[in-house]
Structure 1
Amino acid sequence: CDARQPYGCPAGQAAYYGRGPIQLSWNFNYKAAGDALGIDLLNNPWRVEREPDVAMMTGLWYWNTQNGPGTMTAHNAMVNGAGFGQTIWAINGSLECNGGNPAQVQSRVTKYQQFTQILGVPTGANLYC
């Protein structure tokens, strides 16, 4: 929780951990997602882990609207040809890219390659961040 935010940490300092399909974390992300979805996630972040529809909505919200530490949303990276590596930047780039955690990046790329093979679609270029 970033206590410097004007709204503080009403659910508690340790309440804003990663939940949902994109592992929403930090109070500012819970507040922004909740505001966008019309759900009070700042005061009740547990809804993301307890309600599957809320979890999916937060994942889709982040995927489609948030750049994170990257320069574009993960959605834009995939549909505009920037590649899978840019989705890593958008979601966790500041922790994983530029040598931050090469094993985790490799794990993500390997899983992505497995899924594209199952689906019978090309991976595209720029797999790594």
Structure 2
Amino acid sequence: MSFASLVPLLLLASVLGAAAQQSGDIGSLISRDLFNEMLKHRNDGNCPAKGFYTYDAFITATKSFGGFGTTGDTDTRKREIAAFLAQTSHETTGGWASAPDGPYAWGYCQLREQGNPPDYCVANQQWPCAPGKKYYGRGPIQISYNYNYGPAGKAINSDLLNNPDTVATDPVISFKTALWFWTTPQSPKPSCHAVAAGQWQPSAADTAAGRVPGYGVITNIINGGLECGKGSNPQVQDRIGFYKRYCDLLKVGYGNNLDCYTQKPFA
């Protein structure tokens, strides 16, 4: 075959490759082996979530959120995957300071909120609590409250208001609730996805509050009221520790503004 006849085939391959980048396929960036290395001890015998958080469930769930991990250049996409897994690893951590392989190898160890959590049921006309149901933290993002279970369930076509424990029994739905939270803005907060993908531009109020683009403002979105604007603290440090480990494994830089120590929480 001559070089001239190869050109159309090379062009076609290039087009198909570009299309694949936009197809929602994040498996090209995070393989099963890499996922298992990142969440190294999630299936440890001492982890309540042993066997629950699978790679296949993660990949299946991401296909319902096409922008996740597919927006921007390769480094941006990798950082979003790292940020998502880091924040959710902090929420579900089973690690401790002297844990084998370090505290940041123990994400996705927990399935439900620890201790004796309250019902997390508040008066809400649109999303009323179902009789006898409790809306404590479950899944990767530890989704809580009836006003989150309701709209999350509607978005992913699962009646979570009446069946909240589905988040702790169906791994695909569990990941979908975390991705719903990640990709859904809750005014005045932007979505975590918009920040991770570099789409968020701070308003004048954000700038005055010290909120700047970077991983730190994602922490502010998730739990700023308890963790941000208070100087250095172990919770934010833990979130950053997971993020750095995952970025290192994905072979991507961390970006800027990793903490929210001097950021005021969103109103």
Fold in common (TM above 0.5) = yes
What's the TM-score once normalised by structure 1's chain length? 0.88
Measure the CA separation in 2 of the matches of 1:43 and 1:101. 40
Kindly provide the CA deviation profile for residues 61-85 of structure 1, in whole angstroms up to 9, marking residues without a partner as x: 11111347x6211111111172111
Pick one of 68, 74, 80 that aligns with 2:192. Answer: 74
Measure the CA separation in 2 of the matches of 1:98 and 1:67. 20
Kindly provide the CA deviation profile for residues 74-113 of structure 1, in whole angstroms up to 9, marking residues without a partner as x: 1111111721111111211122212288210111011111
Kindly indicate which of the two structures has a greater share of residues assigned to helix: 1
Matched-pair contact (CA < 8 Å) for 1:20–1:55: yes
- Cα pair distance change 1:22/1:66, threshold 3 Å: farther
Corresponding residue number in structure 1 for 2:253: 122
1:45 equivalent to 2:164? Answer: yes
> What pairs up with 1:15-94 in 2 under 5 angstroms?
15-67=134-186, 71-80=189-198, 82-94=213-225
Q: Which runs of 5+ in 2 are unaligned?
A: 1-119, 200-212, 261-267
Q: What letter is aligned with 1:128?
A: D
Q: What letter is aligned with 1:111?
A: F
Give the structure with higher Rg (CA): 2
Measure the CA separation in 2 of the matches of 1:46 and 1:66. 24
Matched-pair contact (CA < 8 Å) for 1:11–1:45: no
Percent of pairs with identical residues: 40
Comparing 100-109 with 32-41, which one deviates more in the overlay?
100-109
Q: Which runs of 5+ in 1 are unaligned?
A: none
Measure the CA separation in 2 of the matches of 1:101 and 1:21. 24
Classify the secondary structure of the residue corresponding to 1:41.
Answer: coil
What's the TM-score once normalised by structure 2's chain length? 0.44
Matched-pair contact (CA < 8 Å) for 2:183–2:193: yes
Superposition misfits of 4+ residues, deviation over 6 angstroms: none
Higher RCO structure (Cα 8 Å, ≥6 apart): 2
Measure the CA separation in 1 of the matches of 2:238 and 2:189. 22
Measure the CA separation in 1 of the matches of 2:185 and 2:139. 15
Comparing 96-105 with 42-51, which one deviates more in the overlay?
96-105
